[in-house]
Structure 1
Amino acid sequence: MGKLIAAINMTLDGFCDHTAVIADDEIHEHYNDLLKNSGALLYGRITYQLMESYWPAIVEKPTGNKAEDEFAVLIGNIPKVVFSRTLKSVDWKHTTLKHELLKEEISALKQQVDKDICAGSPSIITALTQLGLIDEYQLCIHPVIAGQGLPLFKNVEDRVELKLLKTKTFDCGAVIHYYEPAK
């Protein structure tokens, strides 16, 4: 059994906006390593559709950028679970659609998967935080102030105490903060 990891890129002012931050090769390599050690990805509809609209095409027609092309292959091959009340079907290979995120199902998935499980959508990270299911947060803070957007923890209702485990700094100025829930 691995950990359930909330892994996401965000701006310095706490917004999750793929257009505000750009992952360079070093950051892609970090996420490639994370995917290699993961047995499943958990997404909400919006993030799933964003990823599905971009990465499969890179597998079909590689960019020539080694880190980005490797990410496309890795994310395409990993089992993905999409939680959506509105989607009727999913087309990306290795993807399962669930209409409801249930604590019991996530707990069972954690027992079934030998590797880590990554949550990569703001809505899913929020839901899993409220259910107390996240074992580790990997928040990649980019040196960008967006001024507006979707805040990561917008709908978290209860205080959550975290313990800083370590940080990792990238040449571009982004810093990943690794946290675990405080005991």
Structure 2
Amino acid sequence: MRKLIYGINISLDGCCDHTRFSGADDIQDYFRKLLEGVDTVIYGRKTYELMVPFWPEIALTQSMDETANAFARVFDNLKCIVVSKTIDSVDNERTTIIRDNLREEIIKLKQQPGTAISTGGVELPVQLIEWGLIDEFHMVVHPLIVGQGRRLFTEMNLPENLGLKLIASETLSSGCVALRYLSHPAQV
């Protein structure tokens, strides 16, 4: 079965609002390397609209620095699934829409051949975590306390604690710490 990987940037105080902090080249490289190991990304409408058409256009124009251009090239080669009841159509031929039966559709997707699947954002991953569908967590913690903004997992409702196993940590040159956890059934 294919792994479903959740990756996100957060501040030390748990803020996941991307407008409250910016990323350095090492962070973009970290997520590029993560995406090199997947063939599909799944986003909710908000995250999808942040990523597409922005990164596919950068992949085409190569108009940013080499780190961003490299990320864009990797992103542009991925299949993309957007979960939305409001988007009627998409212009990208590699993008499909899931409107209904999300849990069943994700389970089917995980059972198909291919490499890992990545997801990001907040609302969609919360649902996937609640259903036990996330296999791996990649959390890049920024050395900032922002004091305001949307917090990660505040809208989650788990019946019991979700135990995770730390399998890797890396201090990036920007001072961010990349943490990689596997999901497992043990209670914390």
TM-score normalised according to structure 1 size: 0.92
User: Which segments of 5 or more consecutive residues in structure 2 lack a partner in the other structure?
Assistant: none
Q: Which residue of 1 aligns with 2:175?
A: 173
Amino acid at match of 1:177: L
Whole-Å Cα distance in 2 between the matches of residues 89 and 39 of structure 1?
Answer: 21
Partner in structure 2 of residue 57 of structure 1: 57
- AA paired with 1:50? L
**Secondary structure at the residue paired with 1:150?**
coil
The residue type equivalent to 1:135 in the other structure is D
Change (3 A) 1:167 1:54: same
The 2-side partners of 1:110 and 1:177 are apart by: 23
Cα distance in 2, alignment partners of residues 93 and 10 from structure 1:
31
User: Structure 1 stretches (4+) deviating beyond 3 angstroms?
Assistant: none
Between 152-161 and 171-180, the greater mean CA deviation after superposition: 152-161
Query: Over aligned residue pairs, what C-alpha RMSD do you find?
Result: 1.6
Number of residue pairs matched by the alignment = 183
Cα offset for 1:64? Answer: 4.8
SS of 1:16 mapped into structure 2: coil
What amino acid is the match of 2:132? G
Report the counterpart of residue 17 of structure 1 in structure 2.
17
Quote the offset at 1:53 in angstroms: 4.4
Q: How does 1:60-79 map to 2 (within 5 A)?
A: 60-79=60-79
Specify the code of the residue in structure 1 equivalent to 2:176.
Answer: A
How far apart are residue 162 of structure 1 and its match?
Answer: 1.8
Q: Is the 8 A contact 2:166 2:180 kept in 1?
A: yes
The answer to whether the 8 Å contact 1:143/1:174 transfers is yes
Percent of matched pairs sharing the same residue: 38
**Preserved CA contact (<8 Å) 2:2 2:112:** no
Following superposition, the deviation at residue 21 of structure 1 comes to: 2.7
Does 2:106 match 1:106? yes
| CA distance 1:2–1:21, shift in 2 (3 Å) | farther
**Structure 2 length normalisation: TM-score?**
0.89
Paired residue type of 1:170: L
Which residue of structure 2 lines up, in the alignment, with residue 148 of structure 1? 148
Q: Decide whether aligned partners of structure 1 residues 119 and 101 sit closer, same or farther in structure 2, where only a CA change above 3 A counts.
A: farther
State the AA in 1 paired with 2:146: A
- Give ranges in structure 1 of 5+ residues lacking alignment: none
Deviations 1:72-95 (A, max 9, x none): 121122001000122112223411
